Each structure stands twice: as structure tokens, then as C-alpha cells.
Amino acid sequence: MFPTPIAKRSRSAQLTYQAFLPLALILWLLPLLAVALFSVKPGADFANGNYWGIPSSFDLFSNYGMVFFESNMPRYLMNSLLITIPTMIGAVALSSLAGFALGIYKFRGNLLIFFMFIAGNFVPFQILMVPVRDLTISMGLYDSILGLVLFHIAFQTGFCTLFMRNFIRALPYPLIEAARVEGVAEWRIFWYVVLPLMKPALAALAVLIFTFIWNDYFWAVVLTQGPGAQPVTAGITEFNSQFRAAYHLMSAGSIVAALPPVAMFFLMQKHFIAGLTLGAVK
Amino acid sequence: MSVSPAVPTTHARQPKRGWYKRNEIALTPWLFLILPVAFFLTYVVVPIGQSFWISFHQWDGLGEATWVGMDNYNRLLGLGDQNIDRKFETSFWNNIRWLVLYLLAIPMGLFIALFLNQTVTGIRLYKSLFFFPFVISQVVVGLVFSWFYLPNDGLFEIITGFFGLEISGGVLGNPNTATYGIIAAGLWPQTAYCMILYLTGLNAVDSEQVEAARLDGARGWRMLWFVIIPQLKPATFIAFVVTIIGALRSFDLISIMTNGGPFGSTRVLSFYMFEESLSEFGFRMGYGAAIAVVLFFIMLGFIVYFLWSMWQDEKGAR
């Protein structure tokens, strides 16, 4: 193990490390702690210039109540869910199909198609902006949840296919051969042999896509406008213009907007990290 | 199609197999690929081509597009008798700043990973809390940092003021510092990402090699440089890929924190492209597309390198 395990060091080194750890964490998360502090302060504190001091009163409930009951926030949160969950299902489904085809079969063009998915995933998405917006408008899906979902599914399929294909490649191939000898139809091999083994990959991708899509801002701005279909990342800017300079409400709103992926991360941590660090170890 | 018998027989005994059955293994991958490939072509591959096409036109997004040839590029890059677009110039150099400074996330992530790669009580919670910034949307990160940088009342000014440092107009209000302020905000989640990559990488470092090196007297920096870092190569590669992509995609933070200002000093190509095509100043889709194409070519160099490295790996495998 590197660096040398602290347990093998001197007692004083251990104590220093133990003391330094929480300190470093507080420093690292300082911007977030500040927002958390902001969100429980009364508005008057900001008018009086008491930005960083102790709150003059504890206003957690009234601030968050304002966010939930007197703004469009619940609407935006709902939109975010309606965008994120279908995208998650769609992208995972499409990419397990593609990953199976590319991971199991040898055929001409296999690598070419695989590399198309990878390359498409790397392009700066500004180059897609004008044509995709145009396509969405011509399908009558501008400013609709479906329009966003379709694009997200297509784009995320690139990354997910890379992930799935590599995962399927690592499965024991004799399993598939054995099934073929038994005369099992190919689609049944997919459904009954490969898919059950893919559960960890499916879970990892699902949480990753959830986070990516929930946090998307660019496409939300390009393909939607107004509270009808906009997700919370785009909605927060409207929310902020509604409560201009009301830092306590803006920070409460930001925390609410950030919470779902955070919750997802802490609940599914193992899968999340497995997904993110795919390929970091050979 | 024949009527299937009431009692299912085994497939092997059927005398004649259908055309599909005979070609099943050759056909199945294509059947599985139809839908994903169709989606990907419609929304990703074809639009790239369309953007190239649009970049040769003058188009407001609604009416007829007029063919203008290389005009957009001439105006953008200052070819021929034109002067280079000053906004483009600023954006381009800011992109370079992003690319270079964003790479700091890699050593910083490694540093934190080394710091956290211990087994003390509660270290798992520490690791996930350190990773936390990456999970939050860039929009929220941008908001948080813009409050951090607030002129007069922001925590940053209080701290720098303590050391007697004064930035007129605040970090984000001053054209000389604004871009760096935004990059610092972007480095925060990016470092967290690199950290988690390295933590995973460190987990898989061959402990026998480390022990052997230790017996040979390797310690500290020499150990890190000659034994550990070479073993972390896959993690470093991924960290490099995601950091470069992240740097060139930077849009959210700029849009939230400064909206390109002050005086357009924080624009990058992706933001400038958006501004030209979809802002209140008018829909200049052709010009926007030309900017996107330039950005694409900058990215292409990296894409080719990434794909080439991955292809080298593929050749080694099965």
C-alpha cells in the first residue's frame, strides 16, 4: 500500500493525521457549508451585512417552505424527474442491446461502430446544437419533455455502449457458447444468460445517467423555455430572478435542486464509483 | 409459416430450418444494433455533418439559408482582407487557459487521493464527502462560487482582504481575474473526479512491488514517481480524457457566473457559439456553426489521440 499506512507510523503522526482529516474536509467543503449556512438565515441578515456570521434567527422552515410552496420549484423538480427517469431507462436499454451486439459477435464493422459511439461521445456538443434544435422544432417537440428525453437517450447511448460493451467483453465467453450448443436462440441468450450477469453494470449506468441528466443545463436551455418543460437546473435561474439578491432563498433553492443526485450518490455509492472509474484499473 | 405443434419439439429435430435460423448468428447483432445506431446517427452523427453544412451559410434559423461559402470562416479567423473577430480571439485564448489550468485537477486529485488512501475509522465517509462536489450540478457550483466571490461581502474577499490583497470590482467583476475565478470553480468538482479515479487506481497497485521497492530503499517521491505513478497509468489516461473534455465543454459555469462578462472577457468558444446562435442579439446560426466547427477541430486532435490509444488496447485484447 502506498503511502505507508498510518498505522505503521509513530503515534504523533497518527494523531496529526486524525486531526488534519476533518480540517481538510471542512476546508474542501467550505463553499457548500457557506450555502448551507445561507439557506437557514433570515433575509434581514443580508441587508445588515451579516453574510458569514451566526444567523440572527434560524429560518430553515420558512426559507425552504418558500421554495416549495411559493415558487415554481416543485414544477421544475417534477420536470427534472420526468426527463431523467425515462432517459435513464431508454439509454440503459439501448446500450445493453448495442453492448451485447458489439461485445459478443464478431462481424465486419464491429470496431467501426464501436468507435463511432466512442467518438460521438467526445465531440463538443455545441456542434450538435443548431441541427438538434432544428430537428426538435421540426418534430414539434421544442419546449417539451419528450424532445429533451429523445436527445439525451441518443447522446448518452454513446457513453453507455462503451461501458456495456467492455463489461460484456469481460464476461466468460464459454457461457454463451454452451448456451448455443444447447440450441438456445440468440435473443434468449441475451435475455436469460447475459442480462442477469449485467446487473452491476445496469445499476452503475442507471445512477450515472441519473446524475448526468439531472445536472444537465446546456440542453435544457437550448431545447426548452419556461416552467412547462424546463428542468430544475434551468429553472433555478428563473427562480433566482424571482428572488433577486435574496441569498437565503436562492441558496435554499440551490440545495433543493442539488439534493436528488446527492441522495442517489450516497444510496448507490458502490455502483456509482464502479461506473465512474471503469477502466481506471486494468 | 407452419402451425406450431401443440407439444413443443426440440429444435434440433426439425428437418428444415428457416432462413433466419440458418443465419441467426450473422443477423442477430444487426437486429440488436438497429435501434441504438439509428438514434445515435439521427441525433449525433448526422448533426455534426449538418453543422459543417450550415457553417457555409448565412441563416437566421427560420427563413431560407443563403450560401456564403467561406465567408463565416474568413470573418471569424480574419482570413483574406478581414480582421480577426476580436470576440473569437478572446474566446480562443480563454479556451487555451481552460485547457492548461484545468489539467491541474489531475495532480491535485492525485494529491488528495494519496492523502486519503489510508485505513482509519470513518475514512470511507471522508472519501465520499471529498467526492461530493462532483455530484452537484455545475449550475449550483457556479452559484455557490459566485457568492463566495461576492465583492465586499464574499468570503474570498474577506480572506484576501486579510492579506491586504484588493481586486477592484471583485474577482468576477474584474476582466483580468474573472476567467481564473471561473476555472477555479470548475477545478473543484473536476479534482474530486480525478481523486476518485486515483483512489480506485491506488487500490489496485501491486503491493508486492511496493514492498520490494521498499526493501530496495525506495521512499517518498522516488517511490511515487518510479513505482506508483507508472502503475496508475490507466487512471491517469481516463483523468486526462475527462479533464480535456470537461475543459472544452465548459459552458454552464460561465453562463451562470458571469454570462460571458465583464466586457466579454470570460467568453470561451462554446459560450460564444451559443451567444451568436441563440441570444437576444439575433440568431446567427451560420456564424455560430462555424465557431462550433472550429471548436470541433480543436477537439478532434484529442479525439484522434484517445481513439488511437484505445485502439492500441483493443489490438492487444482477444
In the structure, what pLDDT confidence band is assigned to residue B1 with cuts at 50, 70 and 90?
Answer: very low
**Residues A46, A120: one domain?**
no
Which chain B positions have a beta carbon within 8 Å of A102's beta carbon? 29, 33
B38 falls within a domain: no
**Residues A238, A137: one domain?**
yes
Torsion region of B165: left, alpha or beta (phi above 0 gives left; psi -120 to 50 gives alpha):
beta
**Residues A86, A143: one domain?**
yes
Distance from CA of A48 to the nearest CA of B (A): 11
A1 falls within a domain: no
What is the number of structural domains in chain B?
1
Q: What is the CATH number of the domain that holds B159?
A: 1.10.3720.10
Is residue B10 within 8 angstroms of chain A, CB to CB? yes
CB pairs under 8 A between A and B: 291
Q: Flag whether pLDDT at B16 surpasses 70.
A: no
Is residue B315 within 8 angstroms of chain A, CB to CB? no
A187 falls within a domain: yes
B138 falls within a domain: yes
Is residue B291 within 8 angstroms of chain A, CB to CB? yes
Higher-scoring residue by pLDDT: B243, B82: B243
Q: What is the pLDDT of residue B151?
A: 82
Q: What is the pLDDT of residue A145?
A: 93
CB B135 within 8 Å of CB A207 = no
**Residues A231, A114: one domain?**
yes
In percent, the amount of chain B with pLDDT more than 70 equals: 93
Name which of A193, A194, A210 is nearest A275 in CA terms. Answer: A210
**Residues A159, A32: one domain?**
no
pLDDT per position as a tens digit, A100-147: 999 999 988 898 999 999 888 888 888 999 999 989 999 999 999 999
CB B20 within 8 Å of CB B31 = no
B17 falls within a domain: no
**Residues A159, A40: one domain?**
no
Name which of A114, A86, A115, A87 is nearest A100 in CA terms. Answer: A114
The enclosing H or E element of B58 equals strand B57-58
Q: What is the pLDDT of residue A196?
A: 93
Q: Flag whether pLDDT at B8 surpasses 60.
A: no
Q: Flag whether pLDDT at B66 surpasses 70.
A: yes
Q: What is the pLDDT of residue A13?
A: 87
> Which residues have CB under 8 Å from A26's CB, separation 6+?
A33
pLDDT per position as a tens digit, A53-99: 788 888 888 888 888 888 888 999 999 999 999 999 999 999 999 99
pLDDT per position as a tens digit, A148-189: 999 999 999 999 999 999 899 988 999 999 998 998 888 999
A268 falls within a domain: yes
- Long-range contacts of range A195-198, CB-CB < 8 Å, 24 or more positions apart? A195/A96, A197/A171, A198/A96, A198/A164, A198/A167, A198/A168
**Residues A123, A81: one domain?**
yes
Rounded CA-CA distance A39/A58 in Å is 10
Q: Do B224 and A17 touch (CB under 8 A)?
A: no
B275 falls within a domain: yes
In percent, the amount of chain A with pLDDT more than 90 equals: 44
The enclosing H or E element of B66 equals strand B66-67
Q: Do B139 and A3 touch (CB under 8 A)?
A: no
A282 falls within a domain: no
Instruction: Measure CA of the first residue to CA of the last residue in chain B; give whole Å.
Output: 40
Q: Do A122 and B303 touch (CB under 8 A)?
A: yes
Which chain A positions have a beta carbon within 8 Å of B138's beta carbon? 215, 217
Phi, then psi, of B120 in degrees rounded to 5: -120, 165
Nearest to B307 among A29, A118, A211 (CB): A118
- Name the residue of chain A whose CA is nearest to B39's CA: A154
State which residues form the domain around A34: 6-62
Is residue B135 within 8 angstroms of chain A, CB to CB? yes
Cell of residue A85, nine digits: 427517469
Which chain B positions have a beta carbon within 8 Å of A208's beta carbon? none
In the structure, what pLDDT confidence band is assigned to residue B240 with cuts at 50, 70 and 90?
Answer: very high
B130 falls within a domain: yes
Is residue B150 within 8 angstroms of chain A, CB to CB? yes
**Residues A57, A166: one domain?**
no
Distance from CA of B315 to the nearest CA of A (A): 11
Nearest to B126 among A25, A122, A218 (CB): A25
Give one DSSP letter per residue of B235-300, joined into a string: HHHHHHHHHHHHHHH--HHHHHHTTT-STTTT--HHHHHHHHHHBTTB--HHHHHHHHHHHHHHHH
Q: Flag whether pLDDT at A195 surpasses 50.
A: yes
**Residues A105, A34: one domain?**
no
Q: Do A34 and B285 touch (CB under 8 A)?
A: no
CB B57 within 8 Å of CB B66 = yes
In the structure, what pLDDT confidence band is assigned to residue B157 with cuts at 50, 70 and 90?
Answer: confident
Q: Do B47 and A95 touch (CB under 8 A)?
A: no
Q: Do B135 and A211 touch (CB under 8 A)?
A: yes
Rounded CA-CA distance A67/A69 in Å is 6
In the structure, what pLDDT confidence band is assigned to residue B10 with cuts at 50, 70 and 90?
Answer: low
Q: Flag whether pLDDT at B315 surpasses 70.
A: yes
Segment B238-266 shows an average pLDDT of 90
Q: Do A150 and B43 touch (CB under 8 A)?
A: yes
Q: Flag whether pLDDT at A47 surpasses 80.
A: no
Strand partners, A211: none
Indicate the residue among A43, A62, A81 that finishes a domain. A62
Amino acid at A216: D
B192 falls within a domain: yes
State which residues form the domain around B252: 92-283
Nearest to B299 among A6, A51, A123 (CB): A123
How do beta strands B66-67 and B57-58 pair? antiparallel
Q: Flag whether pLDDT at A271 surpasses 70.
A: yes
**Residues A50, A148: one domain?**
no
B318 falls within a domain: no
Segment B38-60 shows an average pLDDT of 92
**Residues A175, A239: one domain?**
yes
Q: Flag whether pLDDT at B14 surpasses 70.
A: no
- Name the residue of chain A whose CA is nearest to B274's CA: A126
Nearest to B292 among A97, A105, A126 (CB): A126
- Name the residue of chain A whose CA is nearest to B41's CA: A154
**Residues A198, A113: one domain?**
yes
Q: Do A277 and B235 touch (CB under 8 A)?
A: yes
Distance from CA of A83 to the nearest CA of B (A): 15
What is the number of structural domains in chain A?
2
Distance from CA of A123 to the nearest CA of B (A): 7
Substitution target in B28, B195, B210 with the highest count of A β-carbons within 10 Å is B28
Rounded CA-CA distance B276/B295 in Å is 14
Coil, helix or strand for A231?
coil
Substitution target in B9, B21, B33, B305 with the highest count of A β-carbons within 10 Å is B33
Which chain B positions have a beta carbon within 8 Å of A264's beta carbon? 135
Q: Flag whether pLDDT at B9 surpasses 80.
A: no
A281 falls within a domain: no
